[in-house]
Amino acid sequence: MTPDAPENGATKLGELTYTRVHRASPELLFDCMTTPEHLAHFWGPRGTTTPVTSIVVDLRPGGAFETTMVSDTDGTAYTMRAVYVEVRRPDLLVWSEPGSGMTTTITFTDLGDGTTEVVTHQTNVPEAYRSPQARAGFATSLDRCDAYVASLVGGASADADEPPRA
């Protein structure tokens, strides 16, 4: 993952952007981000679990996207509720969280060499999510996704030679 600015994933105030490159097709990566059975393997930072039964994906504009992450340490539950704004398989997902106003846009770009660049751009990010600790936690979720995708395709992620960055 490469940050777009020196502040580890931060771009403009209230915005975050994270970029990863995977040795996988855009279709597989899109499916991983939109199928509860896949999401349960990596959704949430290290130290949390997201039971497949807590994931709702109604994959259409206006459809619900909900997850509940559970702390492995104390069982505290964290629920995210969003509404899909745009769904364009295999290259674009956009959802908005009505409670916070945050919008997440994920683009999947086929690089033509067997790899796909995945860019996650968030706007109207609440201040608590912009802290260094929160960004580091988000990065562990991306690390979990990297490892899961690599396990599906039988190899390492395309970023495997780079140290993880938030």
pLDDT number for residue 154: 85
Question: Amino acid identity, residue 107?
Answer: T
pLDDT number for residue 13: 65
- Asked whether the beta carbons of 82 and 92 are under 8 A apart, the reply is no
What is d(CA 50, CA 72) in angstroms, rounded to the nearest whole number? 10
Q: Is 107 part of a structural domain of the chain?
A: yes
Q: Give residues with Cβ within 8 angstroms of 111, minimum separation 6.
A: 21, 117
pLDDT number for residue 155: 64
pLDDT number for residue 12: 60
What is d(CA 2, CA 163) in angstroms, rounded to the nearest whole number? 10
Tokens of 153: 């395709």
Residue ranges of the chain with per-residue pLDDT less than 70 = 1-13, 155-166
- Give pTM, 2 decimals: 0.84
Tokens of 126: 């609440």
pLDDT number for residue 37: 97
Indicate the number of domains in the chain: 1
Tokens of 119: 């860019």
Q: Is 5 part of a structural domain of the chain?
A: no
Q: Please give the residue range of the domain that contains residue 21.
A: 16-44+87-153
pLDDT, one tens digit per residue, over 50-76 is: 999 999 999 999 999 999 999 999 999
Tokens of 130: 């912009």
What CATH code is carried by the domain that includes residue 146? 3.30.530.20
Q: Is 137 part of a structural domain of the chain?
A: yes
Tally of CB atoms within 10 A around 134: 18
Q: Is 72 part of a structural domain of the chain?
A: no
What is d(CA 94, CA 120) in angstroms, rounded to the nearest whole number? 10
Q: Is 119 part of a structural domain of the chain?
A: yes
Q: Is 23 part of a structural domain of the chain?
A: yes
**Which ranges in 16-131 belong to alpha helices (H)?**
26-34, 36-39
